[in-house]
Structure 1
């Protein structure tokens, strides 16, 4: 359990594979049992300990939860599921743009409520895989600034 928490809280998206390794080890420990399980635990612990570290996801969820407690918001109308009675599963509200119909599977539209439109919750580091995420987010922000769908 602790190795999985460390993989998510301390390693995070700097090496997303750490959580997969830790979760796989947990499952394998349940199936294999001791004494061999010690090898699985050692492998997972070493992987997580040696992985690049980032707590950006941990910080993001903390900031988001704090925001939920402090700021009353509403979901932008075009993102609301108009099929709340269970008859549909895809938002079809007026003005909604389905991202997968656009290049790069990204579309410029408002996702955050008006009350928090300028908030940034997740701020990736330049460590490990988070550097790739950071570069992708930069690309999306530049596309948005240029009005490119």
Structure 2
């Protein structure tokens, strides 16, 4: 049996929306590009055709990944009993001790993680270090660049 994928309600909805977009307009666009490239003749040396087919392969792979993720997804809501303890779905305000700055991250499942948007996976080094911790706790995170230290300022 495959392992379940924990996601927030928002993450689940985002994955569903992406799947609908890929199966609809994106898939139609690639099919049109393939048809147009075929119309140009010889397919052996037709770069547009080969590019369109490669895009189709990537698209179908992403669709399959999303379908499997949604099938295995378990929507986890932030428990009310979590209070000021960091859990899946928590928005955590951190103070970076070394760089003297505050950052805010949201703890999410690994499939919906996007560090550029401060969506941090619970299974990442930072996510693991703050999961289950409370306001006032200090945590250390081992990274390739060394150890970073944070103080938890808030959990919502």
Normalised to the residue count of structure 2, the TM-score between the two structures is 0.26
Q: Which has the higher helix share?
A: 1
Q: Which has the larger radius of gyration?
A: 2
More strand by share: 2
> Which structure exhibits the higher relative contact order, with contacts defined as CA atoms closer than 8 Å and separated by 6 or more residues?
1
